[in-house]
Chain A
């Protein structure tokens, strides 16, 4: 499984944008970039995914580097409820399982 590298932790303030980086230098052409998050005492939750182009949904935006070796999850206006562990996961288009790393623990200050 292709490996991702994320900072262990990040901190931001409420109502400010947050940029969560992910490096995946060994990504293959068929790997999709998925982001999940895990709120305290809950199961993981899908956030967004993409292949090559930047993606937007109601939760976040995903910016993918042109060479696909890195990506950034953008929370446009963080709230206290966004405090969670964020996981960047590479998944081959034909695969079923998700392979979680340690993720980035995001703290939001009021």
Chain B
């Protein structure tokens, strides 16, 4: 069964450093998402991406964040200058369609980001 994969599973970085989280969505999917979950809190939407551009983003997704689909398979989330409060589990998701009744999003296993 096709699945979303994410690398690395755990990333430790120093405050102020740049990190890139990587995701490989399901191959025939067209819509891509990033969510995050701070330990013990809700899963929060960050951004959605379609046709090589951001289609929606949340207030969390400020200028420190960016997303890119550098090739036909990878989808990345970059945090330019990490802060302590960026420590969280980051989930990538993809869906075949969006904006209709059936929009099952498939989530990856997550990358745990720890900012020291």
Contacts and interface: CB of A to CB of B under 8 A. Distances in A.
Interface of A: 32, 38, 42-46, 49, 51, 87, 91, 93-102
Contact of B101 (A45, A49, A98, A102): A49
B31 A96 contact: yes
Interface string B44-63: 11001010000110100000
Interface of B: 4, 31, 33, 35, 42-45, 48, 50, 55-56, 58, 91, 93, 98-110
Nearest to A91: B103
B91 A102 contact: no
B108 A43 contact: yes
A94 B48 CA distance: 14
Nearest to B106: A46
Contacts, number: 59
B48 A96 contact: yes
Given A43-B108, A43-B110, A93 B43 contact: no
Q: What is the interface of chain A mostly: helix, strand, loop, or mixed? A: loop
Closest 5 CB pairs of A and B: A43-B107, A100-B43, A97-B45, A96-B98, A46-B104
A38 B40 CA distance: 13
Contact of A100 (B42, B101, B104): B42
B105 A32 contact: no
A58 to B, nearest CB: 13
Given A43-B4, A96-B31, A100-B35, 7 more contacts: A43-B93, A91-B103, A93-B100, A96-B33, A98-B43, A100-B42, A101-B42
